[in-house]
Each structure stands twice: as C-alpha cells, then as structure tokens.
Structure 1
Amino acid sequence: MNDLFFYGTLRHLPLLQLVLGRPLSRLTLSEAKLKDHAVYSVRGEAFPMIQPERGGVADGLLVQGLEPEDFRRLIFYEGGFDYDLQLQPVELPDGSVVEVCVFFPEPDLWSPGELWSLQDWADAWADLTLTAAQEVMGYYGKADAVKIARSFPSIRTRAWAKLGARKRGTGDARDPKKDVIVHEHTHAYIDYFGMQEVQLQHRRNDGTMGSVLNRNGLMQGSAVVVLPYDPGRDAVLLVEQFRTPVFLIEDPEPWMWEPVAGMIDPGETPQQAARREAMEEAQISLKSLEFAGEAYSSSGSSTEYVYLYVGLADLEKTIDDGGLASEGEDIRTKIIPYAQFMDQVDGHGFKDLPLLSLAHWLARNRDRLRGA
C-alpha cells in the first residue's frame, strides 16, 4: 500500500512537500472523500481531527505513488501528533472507491470544536505551521517522534518568534542572502530549547568574505518582561522562582527575584502575553502597559527577543502560590517601595538583567507615571 488520504493540514501542498523533502511532481494528487466521517478543529489547537460521523463527508487529498522513505518521513511528522494509520475506503471524483491509509488520532485524545476549513486554517496558521515543520523535519533521523511531541509546544513558540524576526529591520543595507554563505546547517539538539549549529562565512567590513566560522545558537521564542508598578503607592512588585541555569553555574542563590516574565505563545501579541503572565505568576490585573523597549537578550548565544514593559496596577497583596503547576512553577511575590527598590538596584542586590533595565527606565519615567 503506497497511497494516503490526507484530510487536514497536509492537504496544504507547501507543507506536504516540506515534510516529504522532495517535489510533488512525481506523485499523483487527486481530490477524494471519506464518507461517514467529519473533520473538526481541535479545541485550543491549530490543527484538525477526524472522527466517525454517520452521514458526514470528510473532504481530502489522495496522494498516490509514495515511496518507503516518504512514509517514514510522514510517520515521523504525524507520529509526533499521536496519530495511527488505518485503512479506509475513499471515493474519487469519478465515483470509484479505493482503499487507502488514513492518519487517525488516538480515541478521546482531543476535544472537537467547529467543523474545520482548510482555507480558514491556511489564512491564520499556514505560515506558522510551515515554519514549525521546518524545525520538526530538521530533526528527522536525529530524534524520535515521542521527543518531538513533547517539544512541539516550544517548537511552535519558536516558529512564532521566527515569523516576528523576519519583519524586524532597522535599515541595514546589507543582504544576508548575498553577504552570508552557509556551508552546513545542523539541528543538533531538541528539548524545551533547541540547539542549532552552522558553518558560515559573512562579508567583512572591508568587503571581502571572511573565513568559515563554526557557530551555534540556543533557539528560543520571544518573551515579555513586565515590572508591575503602582504609581499611587509608589511601589513595585517582584516575583521569585528557582532558576535551573543559575543553579547549574553553581551560583549559591538560584532563587531569583525578577519581574514577571514569560514566553509569547503562538498567535499572541507581546501585550497579551504580558497581561496573561501577570495574572498567572502574580495574580494581578494590569491597568495599562508602558512600553520600555525591545531587544535580543544575548545575541551572541541565544535567539531570544525580549519585549520590556512597566505595567501599572493596584498592588494590594502578595502571594506564595503563583505560576502554573503544569509548568512546574512555584512563585511567590513581594511588594517593595520604590526608594527601597532603587537602593537594592544601586547596591547590586539583584542579578536579573531585565529587572535592572526596567528599574532604570522606571527611574526616568516615574514622575510622569505618578503625575498621570
């Protein structure tokens, strides 16, 4: 059996070609229908599910002429989403029926939403899905589908950040397509973070191409950092949590006092993420957000891009049960009068760089915020 019926996102031909890793010209593609089934969106997700439904019809794409390597790549990609292959009869436009393989999710794995539309999905999510699939397939042959499934939320977060990065420019006339030569690009490691290695040359200031450099980057999504400030009480709120990298470097104080912070989820704006994280970590509702800048947090080692805010709020209480249990967070908060806060900043009492950046921004803008 070398034929497959696709009812979901793999009907989008650019995605199918990316997953297969080869042009589609040697395959036979036909519209087809799987009767007594229907395709629904998955609640809270950007992909669909199929389920039996008497009288329903699932529109799809029949792909014929697949090779064993195509199946291995498809099973790797779909296996990360907990799908299994099943034989089903599908009907072609001429009325003939053929038995082909179909990817089905595990029973009761997801909850169905509304009937799914390929066009609506493509308008909203195709670019993100293609970008995420590039990373997923970069680990083909290097990681198993179980690890990809565990890492997929982070992969999508990084994909959302990459879409934002492509629009980020300040007017530099140099063109990476002409002024950077990539000799080898490797997806080296995948888990919550990813690690990519590259051998490249870039054009030097004198106009010549430099020597081949071996470099790597910690692949992360974009993040928001927000310092809650109460102008009436003239006080800030900080959160404390255990930070594993600080522990791994053998710092004796891996519990860090920081602003509220978190990754920007796919489909979110930085402002939406800031408000969500303030509620999740500190259980506070922000009245308004003051933009305090945006930048790469450590451009020599990481892709993380950070959006900085001061969030105006009524700071009335502290908590010791903040964060999401599903993410292993154990967060407490404290409220500090502004003068005491700045004394600690000046006395080098904090070790979080975004916190120091926001403290200095607040010092320059405090009178305006209090006047407002």
Structure 2
Amino acid sequence: MKTLFFFGTLRHAPLLDLVLGRATAPVAASLPGYRVVWAEGESFPMMIEAPGEQAEGIVLAGLSDDDVARLDFYEGAFAYRLVAVTAQTGAGPVEALVYMPHDAPWRPGAPWSLADWQARWGALTMIAAAEVMRAFGRMSAEDIGHRLPIIRARAQAQVSAAARRRPVTLSSPLTRDDVALDHYAIPYEKFFTVEEMRARYRRFDGSWGQTGDRAIFQVADAVTVLPYDPVQDRVMLIEQLRVGVYASGDPQPWLLEPIAGIVDAGESFEATAHREAMEEAHVELSALHHVAGYYPTPGGVAQYLVSYVGIAHLPDEAPRIGGIEGEGENIRNLLVGFKELVGMLEAGELVNAPLLLSVQWLMLNRDRLRG
C-alpha cells in the first residue's frame, strides 16, 4: 500500500474520486520547501522548490497497485512522475510520493489557487477526465496524452453548451429536463467520438414519446472566418481535401471553404478565428464581424459553429499555401473578387454551408463594410 501527496487539481475531491473510481477520504497536509504555481499558459499547476515556504495539499494513504496504476495513467498524460517526499500532517510527518514534472517544457507562472482553478477549469476537467479514464486499460498514457487537446476541446464544447441560452419567442419552453435517457453508450472514441442513446421525451401535447435508437457524432465547437479586404473588394477562400465529401462518393472531394478550426479548451471563438487565420492562411485580421452561431447538422452531429467575416489586408502576394503539415493539412489559398464570388455562389460552385452563409452575409453588409 502506498501514500500519495496531492498539491494540485487532484485536491478537487470529485476529480480524485473519478480518477480512482471510488470514494476517498484524504487528509490535509503540506510539503515544506515547495510552492505551488500555475504552469505558465496552462490550465494546471506545478510545484517548484521554495525554501522557507510550504505547499498546501492532501495525503491519501492505503493506495493499492491498481489505484496507483490509475493515477499513473491519468498523470502520465501530463508528463508527471512519482517522487518520494516527506509531507506534514496534523498527526506528524508522513512518507509519501508526489507527482512531479518529468521532461516537461512548462515554466512556472503565478501562484496557484485551488478555488480559482475550480471556478475556471473544474467543470471542463471533470468532463475530460471521464473520457481519459474510460481509456484506462485500453490505451497508454502517452497515447492519451496525444489525444488530450481534442478531448479537452470536446469538454470545452460541453461546458459552453451548458451555458448557452437563446431567446424564446415562437420556440417551445421545453428544456433538457423534458428528456430522459433510457440507454447511453460510447462504442467509438478517438479523435471524434460516436455515442449511442435511446431516450424518452415530452411531446408538444404533454405526453411522452420515444426517440428510438440514435447515434451521435461528437466533435467539438468550431469557428469559420471568411477574410474580406474592403479596399480590394475581395475575399480569401481556402481549398482542401474533405474526407467526408470523399466518403459520400462525390467525385470532387476538394472543397472551397472559409478558414475553419476547432475551439481549443479555454479559448474564445474570437481567439480561435484569429489563430486559425494565421495558421491556415497567414492572414492577420483587424476586425471580426459575427455572421451566426448555429448547429450545422443537429440531427446526428453534436457541434456548434460560429461564423465570422474578418477584415484583412489581402495583397496580390498573399501566401498561397497554408496549413500545419504535422496535422496532415495541405491548404490552397485563393483570392477572389466580390463579383466573381457572387457568380460562383449563383452557379453552385460553393457547397460548403458556412461559406454559403458567410457570402450571403457579405452580400447584405458589403456596402457598410466598404463605407
């Protein structure tokens, strides 16, 4: 049996219980000679040496080999390893093990607060940790570490959705409380996930009906942005292979699109638009205009998109190839005059839904933007 000292996110009791798969009863403790700080630019803390100070935490005794294996799997995704320390409790010193960074690139940041972390990252981390621990025994910690960004992006999408509210005028007042799950399973979980569910729901007449078996493709929130230069009166389109179009049997699986990308954990829709414009097209946006926020295929895809038109300078010598090669992207950038763009829309050359919305919005607002 082992005793561990926890100084960071695993001090959050629901998270510790989730990782271990059982209820726990830790006791308060401290570790002399250390301080807990944020890992700079990250959503978790790290512990650094600090003579004369002490790191607050908890100790949990009686941990089995299986418990430690579960903890190793979870912490391994964050590049932590166990180190022996002597912690202080109300009953005296305790020999324990603590997870410390191992070959990690993080730099120490500001002092860390459990309460601040709970408010900012607690809900997201619980959702992501549940997916991580479902992979225990099926994947290595290294493999789950590679998937962690998209896992956290999906968790971010769920947190954002829970906070989303829209006006109710003609819409019915029905809510999530008017749905009851009878069956839920996750048969596939990798970069994307597939969920299966069967539910009862309240009908418009007040009675209850059944959905039947449903499969849901779980992605993550995403952003699209159409760069527009009001001086040159032209836009930048991107073109790339889309495997969904290929899988449908379409003989032309390369699509013209706006810039697009998944919203990372902790990132705003606006920040994603600026980041993706630089990554995919090397374009700096001076302003963003909101087109719409919407569910593109709500019958079977769990994803929320936000589309923008972004004001940018688009010179003749704008880069023509973009994307991140390490992510398998090969993106062609095209400068298209407004009149030609409208002609392509009317001819049916544009078939990407966010692009259609964005071009139609631009047609309505072009004079204002140019003025």
TM normalised by structure 2 equals 0.89
- CA shift, 1:72, in A, is 4.2
Alignment identity in percent? 39
2:143 to 122, 142, 147: 147
Which residue of 2 is the match for residue 119 of structure 1? 115
Measure how far apart 1:290 and its partner are.
1.5
Q: How does 1:1-372 map to 2 (within 5 A)?
A: 1-24=1-24, 27=25, 29-51=26-48, 57-66=54-63, 70-94=67-91, 96-170=92-166, 171=168, 172-177=172-177, 179-211=178-210, 213-316=212-315, 317-370=317-370, 372=371
Name the SS for the 1:312 alignment partner: strand
Could you give the per-residue CA deviations for residues 56-89 of structure 1, whole angstroms, max 9, x where no partner exists? Answer: 5332111234455544433332232233334332
- The CA deviation string for residues 15-56 of structure 1, in whole angstroms up to 9 with x for no partner, is 2233233333xx2x2222233444332233211233556655
CA shift, 1:190, in A, is 2.3
**Structure 2 CA distance, aligned partners of 1:334 and 1:306?**
23
Which residue identity is paired with 2:339?
Answer: A
Cα offset for 1:337? 0.9
Aligned mates of 2:100, 2:197 — CA distance in 1: 37
Is this contact kept in 2: 1:154–1:192, CA < 8 A? yes
Q: What CA deviation, in whole Å up to 9, does each residue of 1:129-183 have, x standing for no partner?
A: 2232233234445544333212110111111111111122333422323x22212
Partners of 2:284 and 2:330 in 1: CA distance: 19
| Distance 1:235-1:212 versus aligned 2 partners, 3 A rule | closer
Q: CA RMSD in A?
A: 2.4
Q: Distance in 1 between matches of 2:212 and 2:97?
A: 46
SS in 2 for 1:166: helix
Q: Deviations over 1:242-267 (max 9, x none)?
A: 32333333433333221111112222
The 3 A distance-change label for structure 1 pair 269 and 212 is closer
Q: Where does the alignment leave 5 or more consecutive residues of structure 1 unmatched?
A: none
Instruction: Name the CA distance, whole Å, in 2 between partners of 1:287 and 1:52.
Output: 43
Residues 267-315 of structure 1 show CA distances to partners (whole Å, capped at 9, x for unaligned) of 2221222122212222222222221111011112211111111112222
CA distance change for structure 1 residues 2 and 183 in 2, over 3 Å: closer, same or farther? farther
Tell me: CA distance 1:215–1:366, structure 2 relative to 1, closer, same or farther (3 Å).
Answer: same
Query: SS at 2:128's partner residue?
Result: helix
Task: Measure how far apart 1:6 and its partner are.
Answer: 0.6
TM-score by length of 1: 0.89
Cα distance in 1 for residues equivalent to 2:215 and 2:75: 28
Tell me the amino acid that sits aligned with residue 193 of structure 1.
F
**For residues 85 and 186 of structure 2, what CA distance do their matches in structure 1 show?**
36
After TM superposition, the structure 1 stretch with the greater mean CA deviation from structure 2, 231-240 or 142-151, is 142-151
Q: Residue 199 of structure 2 aligns to which amino acid in structure 1?
A: L
Q: Is the partner of 2:210 in helix, strand or coil?
A: coil
Residues 212 and 334 of structure 1, relative CA distance in 2, 3 Å threshold: closer
Q: Distance in 1 between matches of 2:102 and 2:9?
A: 17
Closer/same/farther in 2, CA of residues 337 and 45 from structure 1, 3 Å limit: same
Contact 1:43 1:111 in 2 (8 A): yes
Where does the alignment leave 5 or more consecutive residues of structure 2 unmatched? none
CA contact (8 A) 1:138 1:187 kept: no
Question: Aligned AA for 1:226?
Answer: V
Distance in 2 between the 1:141 and 1:175 partners?
A: 37
Which one-letter code corresponds to 1:246 in the other structure? V
Secondary structure of 1:315's partner? coil
Contact 1:318–1:332 (Cα < 8 Å) also in 2? no
1:128 corresponds to which letter in structure 2? Answer: L
Report the Cα distance in structure 2 between the residues aligned to 1:75 and 1:247, rounded to whole angstroms.
40
